[in-house]
């Protein structure tokens, strides 16, 4: 029973791929630009994903109305197949057809807490004196593996959070069926956040640090072990120094 539960937890982990790909219990998996580490403790899967190869910053000085500003953009593009390939391979190899409490794992549904739609969040934090151009943020996806992306701004922390909705109330069979249908190319996920900061001292070259990190958690639905956290995945914190 415990062995079967561990296999199920591994599959749950495979679905948290907005931040990376988790395909086992002791290895490191690299999908082109995405690298992830993962471990298992009892019933819970813990993971860390490194997106430093796909997140970048660019910008330049601009003079406006007698003042000097640095205008930049931070974000990145990642191919959906890079994020999900390891999960798909693991599903086919070890979990398709596996039984959990008498039910096929591939027919179980993933949930957020309280059986809400499964999501992942990614947050970008800006220095206090940076102005985030929220209305001109670009966030797009061309993959059925992400059904919707929402953005929100936290004035207190001067941060932007993106919420990714995973799949479309799929069971695992249906979710990975979407992966099979899409293939390996032409399904990018893109984020671009424009910002600006006034330069009050032209001699200053380092303007501050932009940080980003993410979190995704899944919980057990149904009657047994309801709301037990099964998965905890973090996107490794990335610090980008903004230099002129």
Token pair in block for residue 128: 């206090």
Burial degree of 22 (CB within 10 A; 0-12, 13-18, 19+): buried
Q: Is 230 helix (H, G, I), strand (E, B) or coil?
A: strand
Q: Give 191-239 pLDDT, tens digit per residue.
A: 999 999 999 999 999 999 999 999 988 787 888 878 878 778 888 999 9
* Least confidently predicted of 100-104, 126-130, 155-159: 100-104
Average pLDDT, the chain: 82
Q: What is the mean pLDDT of residues 129-153?
A: 97
- The phi, psi pair for 179, rounded to 5°, reads -60, -45
Calpha distance 62→104 (Å, rounded): 59
* Least confidently predicted of 22-36, 44-58, 69-83: 22-36
Q: Give 26-54 pLDDT, tens digit per residue.
A: 334 445 677 777 676 766 677 788 889 98
pLDDT at position 28: 45
pLDDT at position 94: 60
Checking if the pLDDT of 147 tops 90, the result is yes
The closest of 57, 77, 38 to 194, measured between CA atoms, is 57
Calpha distance 81→79 (Å, rounded): 5
pLDDT at position 21: 36
pLDDT at position 221: 81
């Amino acid at each position: 029973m415990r062995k079967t539960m561990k296999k199920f937890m591994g599959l749950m982990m495979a679905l948290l791929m907005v931040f990376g790909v988790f395909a086992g219990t002791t290895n490191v998996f690299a999908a082109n630009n995405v690298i992830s580490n993962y471990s298992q403790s009892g019933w819970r899967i813990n993971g860390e994903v490194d997106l430093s190869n796909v997140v970048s910053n660019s910008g330049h000085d601009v003079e406006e109305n007698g003042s000097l500003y640095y205008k930049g953009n931070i974000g990145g593009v990642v191919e959906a197949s890079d994020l999900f390939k390891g999960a798909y391979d693991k599903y086919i190899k070890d979990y398709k057809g596996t039984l959990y409490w008498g039910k096929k794992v591939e027919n179980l549904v993933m949930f957020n807490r309280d059986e809400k739609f499964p999501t992942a969040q990614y947050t970008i934090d800006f220095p206090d004196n940076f102005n985030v151009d929220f209305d001109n943020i670009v966030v797009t996806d061309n993959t059925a593996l992400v059904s919707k992306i929402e953005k929100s701004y936290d004035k207190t922390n001067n941060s932007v959070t993106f919420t990714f909705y995973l799949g479309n109330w799929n069971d695992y069979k249906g979710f990975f069926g979407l992966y099979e249908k899409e293939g390996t190319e032409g399904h990018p996920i893109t984020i671009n956040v424009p910002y600006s900061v006034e330069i009050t001292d032209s001699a200053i070259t380092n303007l501050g640090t932009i940080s980003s990190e993410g979190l995704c958690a899944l919980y057990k639905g149904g009657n047994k072990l309801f709301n037990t956290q099964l998965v905890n995945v973090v996107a490794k914190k990335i610090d980008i120094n903004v230099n002129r």
